[in-house]
Chains A and B, each alone.
Chain A
Amino acid sequence: MEALIALSVGLLTACGIYLLLRGRTFPVVLGITLLSYAVNLFLFVMGRLSIGVPAILEPNRADYADPLPQALVLTAIVIGFGMTAFVVVLALRARADLGNDHVDGREP
C-alpha cells in the first residue's frame, strides 16, 4: 500500500513538472493541477495509512487515524481549487490579450 501511494505521488509529481515546463499555457495549467493532486495525496498520507481505526483517542486504545492531515488537506484542496480557477481565467485572458497561448506571449 505504502509503495503504491509513494509511486502515485512520484508519478503525479513527475508528470506535473514535465507539463509545467511546456511552452503553452494549457499544459502548464494541467501541470499545476497534477502537482497539486500530488501535494494533496502526499499531505493526506502524512498522517500514516491506517485501516478501520477511529479518528479519536479513547482510553485503552493505542492506534487511531490522525485527523489533522485530513483537515490540512481539505484546506489545501480548497485553496488549490481557487488558484486553479484563477489561473485558468488568467490563461484565457492572456490568450485574448496577447493573441496566442505561448507562456512568453509570442510564438517562438
Chain B
Amino acid sequence: MTELGNHVVIAPILVPLLTGTLLVLLRGSATPLRRTISMLGIQLLLAASLWLLLQVANGDLLVYQLGSWAAPYGIVLVADRLSAAMVMVTSVLALFAMMHAIQGSDRRGRQYHVLFQFLLMGLNGAFLTGDLFNLFVFFEILLIASYGMLLHGGGAARSKAGLHYVVVNLVGSSLFLFAVGTLYGVLGTLNMADLALRIAALPPEEVGLVRAAALLLFVVFALKAALVPLHLWLPGAYSAAGPASVALFAIMTKVGGYSILRVYSLIFGAEAGPLANLVEPWLLVLGLLTIVVGTIGVLASRNLALLVAYLVVISSGSILTAFGLGSQAALSAGLYYSFQSALVTAALFMLTENVARTRGAFADQLRAGPMLPAANLLGGLFLVLALAVAGVPPLSGFIGKVLIIQASFDSQAMAWIMAILLSTSLLTLMALARAGSTLFFKTDTNAGAATLPDAANLVPVAAVAGISLLYVVYASPIYSYTEAAAAQLLSPADYIEAVLDGEILINGETTPHGVPPDSGRHD
C-alpha cells in the first residue's frame, strides 16, 4: 500500500471536518457558493468511502494509529468490512439528502451546511473508531450537530421536540460516561481490542461490576437505536424535524445498532467467559417488542411524517432482532436489511416533504385534501417505497425480511420471529395502503387547489427508489459482502491481533496476546 493509501482510513472523518470548517469561515458568503462547497465535500467523501470499501473488501483490517501512538495506549481507527460499509451507506445517503436540501430547504435556518458536515464527521468517526471513549466523543459530535439540524427552521413544534430529544440524549451521554468510567476503573483500558483481551481473563470477583457497566452501555446504545422502551423520543423528534435534516437522521438509529453489534461481538463476544453473549437474549425479545410497538404506531399515525418515523422504529427493531439471533446468517441478514432500510426510510421522509408542499395547508395530514395534479408520479414513488419498506416481493425489504426469517430457522424463537415479522408486515402494508389512498385518491372538492410538485425536488427520491431496485438486482453480491462482514465480526481474534499488532510491550518484555500480569491496575 502506498503512503497515501495508509491514510484513507481517516479520510471519511477529515473530509467533512475540513469542509465544515471551510463552511464556518464562509458563513457570510453567497448561498450557491456554500452549496457547491458542501456538495463537493460530500462527493469527495463518497470517493474516499468507496476507496476504503474497496481496500477492505478482501478481508483486510486497516488500523490507523493516530499520531503513530501504538494501541492500546494511543487511539486507533479501525476499518473492517462492516465499518467501511456503514461509512459508504452514510455517504450515499448524505449525497441524496444534500441534493434534496439544496432545493431550498437549507435556507430556512442558518448554518445548515456546517451542521450537516459535522454530523457526517460524527457518524463516520463513530463507525471507524476502535476506542470506547473516542466513540463517546464522536457520539457527542454527531449529537450536537443533530440538535442543531433538528431545530433547523425553528417553530414551536420543533422547540418542544428538540427539548425532549436533547434532554434524553444528555442523560444517555451521562450513562455512557458512567459505563466507560466503570470499565476503565476495573480494567484499566478503553481500547476495544484490549478490553476484549482483559475481559476474557477477568477474575471472577470483578465480573459483577463489568456486567453492570456492559448493561449500562447497552442502555445507552439501545437509546440511540430506539429500542423499546427507549424509543419514545424518536417519533416526536423525527416527525418534527425538517425534511432536509431528517433524511440524514435515518442513519442515526443505525449508529446505535452498529455500536451494539461492535461492542457485544468484539468485547463481550463468544470469548468473554462468564460475560459471553451478554445482551443477545435481551436483544431478541426487545427487538420483537420494538417491531410490535412500531407497527401500532404506524397504524395510529395521523400524519405521514409520524408514520415514517414509526417505520424507522420498526426497521430498528427488525435489525436488532436479527442481531439478537447472533448467528452468522442472522447478522448478515440484519446488515443487509439495515442498509436498505436506511435508504428507503430516508427517501420516504423526502417524499413526505414533497407531498406536504403540494397539498398546501393540508400538509402531510392523512385526510382527504385537494386533488393532486401529479398524483401518478408522487403516488408511484410512494408505492415503490412503501412496498420496499413493508417487504413485498420483489423489492428490497422483502429479501431482507426473508433472510431474517431464514436465519431464525435453527433458533428456538423461530415461531415468534416468523409470526411477528409476517403479521407486522401485513399490518404495515395495510397502514401504508390506507395512507396512500387517502393522500393520492381521496379528494375533498372544497379543499382548494394543490400546487405542482417541483420536478427537481423529486430527483433524489426517485434516485433512492432506483437504488432500492438495484439493491434487489445485486442482492447476491451485497449479501455475500454482508456475510463476509458477519464472519469477520464473529472472529474478533483477527481484529484484536490487527489492532494490538500481535504483541503488547509491557515493562520492556513482550507478552504475546496475553494480559500482562500487572494490567494497569494499581489499587
Contact = CB atoms under 8 A, between A and B. Distances in A.
Interface of A: 20, 25, 28, 32, 35-36, 38-39, 42-43, 46-48, 62-64, 66, 68-69, 72, 75-76, 79, 82-83, 86-87, 90-91, 93-94, 97-98, 103-105
B454 to A, nearest CB: 29
Chain B contact residues: helix, strand, loop or mixed? helix
12 contacts: A28-B167, A36-B174, A43-B181, A46-B181, A47-B184, A68-B184, A83-B166, A87-B167, A87-B170, A90-B166, A93-B151, A98-B159
Interface string B134-176: 0001001000100100010011100110111011001101100
B523 interface: yes
Contact of A90 (B133, B163, B174): B163
B147 A94 contact: no
Interface string B486-523: 00000000000000000000000000000000000011
A25 B162 CA distance: 12
Contact of A46 (B164, B166, B182): B182
B140 A79 contact: yes
A63 B518 CA distance: 12
Interface residues of B, number: 29
B163 to A, nearest CB: 5
Interface in B186-224: none
Given A43-B177, A47-B185, 15 more contacts: A32-B167, A32-B171, A36-B174, A43-B180, A48-B522, A75-B137, A79-B173, A87-B166, A87-B167, A90-B151, A90-B162, A97-B160, A98-B156, A98-B160, A105-B160
A6 B522 CA distance: 19
A94 B177 contact: no
B34 to A, nearest CB: 23
A69 B180 CA distance: 10
A27 B236 CA distance: 22
B236 to A, nearest CB: 11
Nearest to A33: B170
Interface of B: 133, 137, 140, 144, 147, 151, 154-156, 159-160, 162-164, 166-167, 170-171, 173-174, 177-178, 180-182, 184-185, 522-523
B156 A20 contact: no
Contact of B177 (A39, A63, A66): A39
B118 to A, nearest CB: 13
A46 B159 CA distance: 37
A83 B177 CA distance: 14
**The 9 residue pairs across chains A and B that have the minimum distance between CB atoms:** A46-B185, A105-B160, A94-B159, A97-B159, A97-B156, A43-B181, A39-B177, A46-B181, A35-B174
A42 B144 CA distance: 23
A75 B174 CA distance: 13
Nearest to A40: B177
Given A86-B147, A90-B151, A35 B159 contact: no
Contacts of B523: 48
B184 A46 contact: yes
A28 B140 CA distance: 20
A22 to B, nearest CB: 11
A43 B177 CA distance: 7
A39 B171 contact: no
Contacts of A93: 151, 159
A43 B151 CA distance: 31
B184 A69 contact: yes
Contacts of A25: 163
B392 to A, nearest CB: 38
Given A42-B181, A97-B156, A105-B160, A83 B522 contact: no
B167 A20 contact: yes
Nearest to A95: B159
B522 A104 contact: no
A94 B151 CA distance: 11
A86 B144 contact: yes
A93 B523 CA distance: 47
Contacts of A69: 181, 184
B35 to A, nearest CB: 26
A32 B171 CA distance: 7
A90 B184 contact: no
A8 to B, nearest CB: 15
Given A39-B177, A75-B137, A103 B171 contact: no
Nearest to A103: B163
A97 B166 CA distance: 17
B155 A39 contact: no
A102 B321 CA distance: 37
